[in-house]
Amino acid sequence: MARPGRREITGFSNPTVKALRALRDKKHRQRDGRFLAEGLRLLTDARESGILPSTLVMASEREAHPLLDALEADVAAAGGEVIETTPDILGKITGKDNPQAVAGVFAPLPTDLEAIDRTAAPIFLVAQALRDPGNLGTMLRTADAVGAGGLILVDDCADPFGVEAVRASMGAIFTVPIAQARWEDFLPWLRSGPGQLVAASLREAVPYRGAPYGAPCFVLVGNESRGLPEDYEAACDLRVTMPMKGRADSLNAAVAAAVLAYEVLDAVG
């Protein structure tokens, strides 16, 4: 028997289970707008940022935890739904063999350029055509760490609200403003106010160390395989490059963004 206020689901073929599982599918998730996040730590980060799930799904065999009790109470008080189900069904919903004890369904977050306040921080991250959801989540985590005012996703990037990106963000999905825009919309927006656009470049560029960064600084990295298009780089205020002492000519995109962001932070932070 579920506790009062909880709805109990015990069947894999339950329509709610199917609807929650479908949020793992990108096309369905983007139509629906809602997204899944799992784990008590992530959900507590969200709660402490003032964001509660519309639906909370808990494993019936979980151990008691005061943060989970607080989460459940807040969700119930806000009129949200609390579901209790088996660990197996929760694993099916989140797609993990060893699922966390809790997952939540969140309403869509705003992702237009108006979500970005360029006066809010000295640094912003921008990714162009970033395809790997793990890289995207890692960039969100780095954006949180350097105190960035947001992550702007230009052109066709991975879905920031997919389960893998949310997981890699370690909670930053709830704390870092995210915008999605085409380049032809991003550039006029950027140029409509103060902002230095700095490209991590594989081409002709100045050393990243001690380059003349200025706030608000928008740190731009390109696609994992192709880097930035040449005309995008040409539109930047500054092109910088990191030492490459080995055989390879590039870093992992999330790594490049972080190394550059920490250098910029030292100059403008």
**Using CB under 8 A, which of the segments 3-11, 97-105, 110-118, 167-175 binds its own copies?**
167-175
Of 16 and 250, which has the nearer Cβ to its own copies?
250
When asked if residue 265 is in the footprint of its own copies (CB under 8 A), the reply is yes
Read off the amino acid at residue 41.
R
Peptide bond into 66 cis (omega under 30): no
Between CA 1 and CA 171 the distance in angstroms is 32
Stretch 3-32 residues interacting with its own copies (CB under 8 A): none
When asked if residue 248 is in the footprint of its own copies (CB under 8 A), the reply is yes
Using the rule CB under 8 A, which residue among 67, 115, 145, 235 binds its own copies?
A: 145
Question: Which residues in 58-97 are b (16+ Cβ under 10 Å) and which e?
Answer: bbbeeeeeeebeebbeebbeeebbbbbbbeebbbbbbeee
**Using CB under 8 A, which of the segments 52-60, 100-108, 211-219, 256-264 binds its own copies?**
256-264
Of 120 and 234, which has the nearer Cβ to its own copies?
120
Query: Which helix or strand (DSSP H or E) is residue 206 part of?
Result: strand 206-207
Using the rule CB under 8 A, which residue among 51, 76, 109, 170 binds its own copies?
A: 170
Smallest distance, its own copies to C-beta of residue 172, A: 7
DSSP character for 227? Answer: B
When asked if residue 45 is in the footprint of its own copies (CB under 8 A), the reply is yes
Between CA 10 and CA 1 the distance in angstroms is 11
Residue 1 has a CB neighbour count (10 Å cut-off) of: 6
> Which chain residues interact with its own copies by CB under 8 A?
45, 48-49, 134, 138, 141-147, 168, 170-172, 175-176, 209, 242-248, 250-252, 254-255, 258-259, 262, 265-266, 269
